[in-house]
């Protein structure tokens, strides 16, 4: 099994929903107000994971991304478009809008257990929460923005027990900070 890497834009108060404003929520667009230098390119430092791994997306995130990425031609976008993508959806059937996409066949946890490549999950909070509940997340790469939203979906829902992580790195990314957290040696 490859690593499961969750990448998310997150506000100071832990909100991850509607960072680009596409969902039309009252506080939406909070990440993108900090300028393109904060969100453009490989801010999550995925590097070769984009070439060798697979992106796992829920239907809503896949549909949003499939409208945004295919027509972009910069170096990062080209790598995003070439990356293998798996969509966890029971209703989506036409995945022709974004190259290298396939629909998940079977259960989410079975897929993650059998996937040998690193799996990158971005957005797709229902998937993130399901993987958290099954204790399958190995690493979080969080781009934290200096915004306090006040309401919205949080990255970490109420947990039955604490999860302890190890800070692997932290870097400035424009107006935000990128922090990478990994499973601690002692686990959760």
- Give the chain's mean pLDDT: 90
Q: Per-domain residue ranges for the chain? A: 4-183
Q: What's the pLDDT tens digit per position in 135-176?
A: 999 999 999 999 999 989 999 987 777 888 999 999 998 899
In our burial notation (b when 16+ CB lie closer than 10 A, e otherwise), range 89-99 reads beebeebeebe
Q: What pLDDT score was predicted for residue 141?
A: 96
CATH number corresponding to 4-183 = 3.40.430.10
> DSSP 3-state assignment of 64?
helix
* Mean pLDDT value across residues 76-93: 92
When mean pLDDT is compared over 4-8, 28-32, 59-63, 150-154, the highest value belongs to: 4-8
Q: What is the pTM of this model?
A: 0.91
Q: How far is CA 186 from CA 13, 159, 169, in A?
A: 27, 18, 19
Q: What's the pLDDT tens digit per position in 58-79?
A: 999 999 999 988 998 888 889 9
Query: Residue 20, Cβ neighbours under 10 Å: how many?
Result: 15
User: What stretch of H or E contains 133?
Assistant: helix 125-133
């Amino acid at each position: 099994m490859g690593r499961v890497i969750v990448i998310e834009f997150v506000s100071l108060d832990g909100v991850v929903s509607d960072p680009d404003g596409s969902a039309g929520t009252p506080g939406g667009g909070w990440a993108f107000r900090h300028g393109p230098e904060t969100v453009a390119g490989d801010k999550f430092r995925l590097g070769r994971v984009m070439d060798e791994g697979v992106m796992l997306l829920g239907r809503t995130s896949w549909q949003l991304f499939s409208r945004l990425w295919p027509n972009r031609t910069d170096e990062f976008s080209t790598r995003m478009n070439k990356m293998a993508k798996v969509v966890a959806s029971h209703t989506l059937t036409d995945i022709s809008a974004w190259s290298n996409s396939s629909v998940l066949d079977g259960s989410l946890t079975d897929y993650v257990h059998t996937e040998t490549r690193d799996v990158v999950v971005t957005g797709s909070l229902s998937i993130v929460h399901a993987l958290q509940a099954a204790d399958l997340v190995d690493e979080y790469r969080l781009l934290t923005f200096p915004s306090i939203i006040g309401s919205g979906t949080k990255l970490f829902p109420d947990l039955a027990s604490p999860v302890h992580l190890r800070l692997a790195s932290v870097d400035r990314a424009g107006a935000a900070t990128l922090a990478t957290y990994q499973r601690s040696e002692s686990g959760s």
